[in-house]
Amino acid sequence: MIRSISFGGGVQSTALLVLAAQRRIDFPLFLMANVGDDSENPATIRYVEEYAKPFAADHGIELAVLDRIKRDGTAETLMGRLTREGSRSLPIPVRMSNGAPGTRSCTADFKIKVIGKELKRRGASAASPATIGIGISVDEIHRANNRKVEPHEEIVYPLLDLGLRRIDCARIIREAGLPVPPKSSCFFCPFHRPETWHDMRREQPAEFEKACQLEDLLNARRDTLGKDHVYLTGYGRPLRQAIPDGVDLLPMFDEADGACDSGWCMT
């Protein structure tokens, strides 16, 4: 029977990697669905290469990074899909003019299906389903659900079983001699909290500008289609205006939750 963790490269799933190395949980396989080196937070990519992969190898754990492969055999990235010439696709949860998030397919296409395909390749089936651990901690229990995405998968939540919070995960990582990783996500994800955007503008200006350019591109296309503009924040205005340079955000303007509720992202 296959027992695997959906590895996002963030705090919770890195804590699960440490727990697996310590044999406190039984998961010898970690699968990371890569949305693309042009899409994921660059700091997460560096952390996985410099710390997570060597740590896994040292402790006899397989950590496999998976690309989304198209029918023609080439790899597809989320940014590539968004920026493909002539594309009308909006797979990310952009905010509509009223601030509500739009529908999304990014998690299903670039996370769930990629890992599901790999599990089937390894022999998972409806008769012998793989057990997939998702890195949701107690303080994010509202993100957990028992929806069965594929008939050959069973979803479990090891951190909930152990009663661990995000702060506990950070402690577990530090005690193992590893630096605490940055929060994982696509750098342009519309689920970012406002303070995350502020930090990005200050600390990762190149990525912030790329996110602004992506928003500009999406709206230029919508102009040609006669559709309302969409945004990467819930403020109903372009990212450069919504997150002004050098201005701290007051707590009253924070959003209730800045995380994908599926559990497959931002862990």
Strand ranges (E), the chain: 3-6, 29-34, 62-69, 75-76, 130-133, 153-156
Band the pLDDT of 17: cuts 50, 70, 90: very high
- What pLDDT, on the 0 to 100 scale, is given for residue 87? 83
pLDDT in tens, 119-145: 999 999 999 999 999 999 999 998 887
- What pLDDT, on the 0 to 100 scale, is given for residue 257? 46
As given in the structure block, the two tokens for residue 93 are 């949860």
pLDDT in tens, 175-222: 999 999 998 999 999 999 999 999 999 999 999 999 999 999 999 999
Question: Which pTM does this prediction carry?
Answer: 0.91
Question: What average pLDDT does the chain have?
Answer: 91
Q: For residues 228 and 249, give the distance between their C-alpha atoms in angstroms, rounded to a whole number.
A: 27
Orientation angle between helical segments 11-21 and 166-175, nearest 10 degrees: 50
Residue 198 near residue 249, CB atoms below 8 Å: yes
Q: For residues 89 and 157, give the distance between their C-alpha atoms in angstroms, rounded to a whole number.
A: 32
- What pLDDT, on the 0 to 100 scale, is given for residue 193? 93
State the average pLDDT over residues 4-26: 98
Least confident of 13-22, 67-76, 86-95, 219-228: 86-95
Orientation angle between helical segments 194-203 and 205-225, nearest 10 degrees: 120
Q: What share of the chain is helix, strand, coil (3-state, %, to 5)?
A: 40, 10, 45
Q: Which domains does the chain have, with CATH numbers?
A: 3-184 (3.40.50.620)
User: How crowded is residue 128: how many other Cβ atoms within 10 Å of its Cβ?
Assistant: 10
